Amino acid sequence: MFSLPSSPWPAARRPAGAILAAPLFAAALLLPGADGAKAQVSSETCTEATANRLQITVAGVRTGKGGTAKGLMAITLYPDDESQFLARKGKIARVRIPATAPETRVCLPLPAPGAYAVAVYHDENSDHDFNRTLLGMPAEGYGFSNDADTTLGLPRFKDVRFNAGAGSTDLVIHLRY
């Protein structure tokens, strides 16, 4: 494990910068599974049998000048605990995979069926930071599970919370730029 300072969230609610990852542009990352064994996280589908998994599709990924997406997609999984949502060291896992347009897909192993929350941002310049404009507005795409409303700021935990059943659960998150 290694740590990199980065976050799309204000410092007061920022998750820790630690990421569970292989090299930066790896298409597959390793995370501990529910039984403590390593489980594969893939940019497309789970490549090994995991009892519980979350298939995430990040839709509306912006393309660069060459017509392809650039940068990384940062996906963070949180437990069913409002105090840990967007908090330092509150995450279960964070993965960064190469962004693909018009959508980026990833499969995450889940510790068990239950409630979770997901936050995503498109790190277009791969600097491991959620960039903002001079006015403090987001300069990169972002989204939350349940496509929670962000019109008035960060969403409430109850708006991003979703239930994952046993087996595979599909989740679609639309990016906002």
**How many DSSP H helices and E strands does the chain contain?**
1, 12
The per-residue pLDDT for range 124-143, each reduced to its tens digit, is: 999 999 999 999 999 999 99
- Per-residue confidence (pLDDT) for residue 48, from 0 to 100: 58
49 within domain boundaries: yes
Contacts of range 18-24, beta carbons closer than 8 Å, 24 or more positions apart: 18/89, 18/94, 19/94, 19/95, 19/96, 20/93, 20/94, 20/95, 21/94, 21/95, 21/96, 24/72, 24/96, 24/126
Which residue from 140, 158, 134 is spatially nearest to 148, judged by alpha carbons? 158
- Per-residue confidence (pLDDT) for residue 49, from 0 to 100: 63
65 within domain boundaries: yes
Q: Cβ neighbours of residue 137 under 8 Å, at least 6 residues apart?
A: none
The per-residue pLDDT for range 79-97, each reduced to its tens digit, is: 999 999 999 899 999 999 9
Residue 115 and residue 96: Cα distance in Å, rounded?
A: 22
How do beta strands 93-98 and 28-32 pair? unpaired
Domain range holding 114? Answer: 18-174
- Per-residue confidence (pLDDT) for residue 50, from 0 to 100: 76
| Residue 68: both structure tokens together | 């392809």
6 within domain boundaries: no
Average pLDDT over residues 150-162: 95
12 within domain boundaries: no
> Poorest-confidence range of 18-27, 73-82, 132-141, 159-168?
18-27
Q: Is the pTM of this model over 0.95?
A: no
Bigger pLDDT: 6 vs 101: 101
4 within domain boundaries: no
- Per-residue confidence (pLDDT) for residue 3, from 0 to 100: 32
9 within domain boundaries: no
Average pLDDT over residues 143-168: 96
Number of domains the chain is built from? 1
154 within domain boundaries: yes
> Poorest-confidence range of 30-39, 98-107, 134-143?
30-39
Residue 140 and residue 27: Cα distance in Å, rounded?
A: 21
Please say whether the beta carbons of 27 and 98 come within 8 A.
Answer: yes
